[in-house]
Amino acid sequence: MGRILFFLAEAFRALRRSAAPSLAAIVTVVLTTLLLGVFIPVIKASSTTNENVRSQLALRVFLVPDAGKHQAKALEHKIDRIPHVDRTEYVSKGKGLKILREEVGSGALGRGLGQLKGNPLPPSINVFPDDPDNLSSINSALTPPGPNGKPKPISPAIETISSSQQLANKIRTVTNTVKVILTVIAALLLVASLMLVANTIRLSIYARRREVEVMRLVGATNWFIRWPFVIEGLIVGLTGAAVAVGMLWLGKATIIDPLHNGGHRRLAPAPPKLSGRVRHRRRGGACDRGADRCPHRRVLGLQRGVAGERRHRAELLQARSRLAARQLRNRRHDRRAAQALRRQVLALPRS
């Protein structure tokens, strides 16, 4: 016990002698641990975002405007039989316009939609794959090569096929780049911290080189001489890590948790009231009806699906807006051509 107290006293005495290098080493360890504490959640969030985007990937098959419901249903059954197709969803013209108005709101574009005399949106079928990597094979099955070698849709009711594979690839590239950059920065900071702590111990050894020589002359062992310096390095590293962890915990408790809880209170819909038939007991934090039949788990699943549904609706809104603008330009062009032909007919001499 007395030897341990001697080692601790020598380590603190060395820290007091080289206060500036020790403080610099502690600050470097604090910064490195803080950045690691920030980088790790960022990398985890980027990975989660990448997985969420991949889970929301789907093909949007837009049909010709005059496609009937029976024709669309027949095409939907045909698409269901394609390998790697998990499920399909038919979106009629009226449902598509309703979704578009809900997404647009009461802005300028919403007022423009209110001035339309008809419904310019075509019906569509959303095709969801069992694995996002199989989107290309499903797209190839929808547009196989024709007699002339060019892709031809499997049904004349198909007008265009929209895929979000390129957007997902861009997001995946960006997230992977962010991961690599943050990992390299964290590794460099970690190496810098280790080198600075080692340099601090080296300066302490150089400042006490005469004492070390005297201790060797009187018969001290190597580990008797080394232990104070090892404890000095441990004190520097643990002090810096403790300060960084305390700052991270304080930031989480004062900034992250209030924002997270406040956002949930504002955005999360109220859970439905359970009737007497659905009311159940919970034992030890688990439902006695099982995980599949628990109403609380179902409500939680619905809340998690809200964000994915909003992203899906935004992509569908963009695609339908582009299609409506293209159809409007075609109608204007046809109207102008008809007017020019009428003027030419009226200009002909009468017999």
Q: What is the pLDDT along the chain (351 residues), one digit of tens a residue?
A: 677 887 788 878 877 877 787 888 888 888 888 888 888 887 787 778 777 777 777 888 888 888 778 888 888 888 888 888 888 888 887 887 787 777 777 666 666 666 666 777 788 888 888 877 788 888 888 888 877 778 888 888 888 888 776 777 777 788 788 888 888 888 888 888 788 778 877 877 787 788 888 888 888 888 888 888 888 888 888 898 899 899 888 888 888 777 766 554 444 444 444 444 444 444 444 454 444 555 555 544 555 566 667 777 777 778 787 877 788 787 777 777 777 767 766 666 654
Specify if 327 maps to a domain: no
Taking the whole predicted model, whether its pTM rises above 0.85 is answered as no
Cα–Cα distance between 281 and 235 in angstroms, integer? 52
Specify if 117 maps to a domain: yes
Q: Tally the domains of the chain.
A: 2
Shared domain check, 194 and 45? yes
Shared domain check, 212 and 64? no
Specify if 226 maps to a domain: yes
**Burial class for 121, CB neighbours closer than 10 Å (0-12, 13-18, 19+):** buried
Residue 175: Cβ within 10 Å count: 19
Specify if 78 maps to a domain: yes
Shared domain check, 203 and 181? yes
Shared domain check, 185 and 206? yes
What range does the domain containing 188 cover?
Answer: 2-53+170-261
Residues 6+ apart with CB under 8 A from 12: 235
Instruction: Look at residues 128, 141, 161 and name the one whose alpha carbon lies nearest to residue 58.
Output: 128
Shared domain check, 193 and 251? yes
Cα–Cα distance between 98 and 6 in angstroms, integer? 79
Buried b (16+ CB within 10 A) or exposed e, 34-53: bbbbebeeebeebeeebeeb
Instruction: Return the axis-axis angle of helices 295-347 and 19-55, rounded to nearest 10°.
Output: 60
Instruction: Look at residues 23, 34, 26, 17 and name the one whose alpha carbon lies nearest to residue 246.
Output: 34
